[in-house]
Amino acid sequence: MNHEPSKNKIQKTGNTWSMIHDSCSMSAGLTFLELIFVLFIVAIISSVVLFNYSSFSSNVSIHNLAEDIALTIKQAQTNALSGAGAIGFSTGSANPETTVAPRYGVFFSSDSDVNGDWTKYYYFYDLNQDGMMNFSGAIPDCSNPPSLGNECFSVTTIQGGDRLSELTAGTTTSSGAPSFGLSIVFKRPFPEPTIFVNSTPVATSAQIEIESKDGAHKHIVVSQVGQISIEDGENVPPSSIGL
């Protein structure tokens, strides 16, 4: 018995293929809308990530600057205690030339010529023991070996938009003072600092405030016993950095 497929079944099969085709078209449209939605979500997430990365990068930058300043102060303290870098120089016509271990210090200034718009600080040998970094001219020259008239050993220039923002010695600050020179000086055999404003010892502790390009603040604090610590902008208790 010969069975031939009926036209109705064939037609129905044709309808089925047609329905499947229509369904695929609808599915393709939904996939496109979903793609637009996913791209929108990705754009939002990317914006949040980029914003957070900028904030994270700024926080890392200012933290690194705070540690660099703290480590420079620590270097001055260590070299003073060890008596490193003994230099022979004449202490006056009535005294023979002698070899001494100089006091070591770090110098900050509110003078825009000296601080380079609050982006420079100096490491120096206090050869004449007066508590300040002596130099000739408007800007310290750190390219030559330290001498009695030019005690600068090295200068650090802050990069990346971060800057010094305020200097404090005890209760005295650099706010409104165009020629505020802060020196943190160490002398063998004592780990305690002597804090000078210009050439006058005024306090037993000092604080250097720094600011990031995004407005975040940190403070480097040197205590009267020689401890060096870093505080954040919310004035939380000092967190020792193990120096």
Q: 103-113, pLDDT tens digit by residue?
A: 899 999 999 88
Report which of residues 52 and 232 the model is more confident about.
Answer: 232
| Structural domains in the chain, sorted by start | 66-240 (3.55.40)
Residue type, 138: A
**pLDDT score for 30:** 60
The model's pLDDT over 165-207, given as tens digits with 9 standing for 90+, comes to 999 998 888 887 778 999 999 998 899 999 999 888 887 889 9
**pLDDT score for 239:** 40
Report which of residues 171 and 56 the model is more confident about.
Answer: 171
**Can you give the pTM of this predicted structure?**
0.71
Q: Is the pLDDT of residue 243 over 50?
A: no
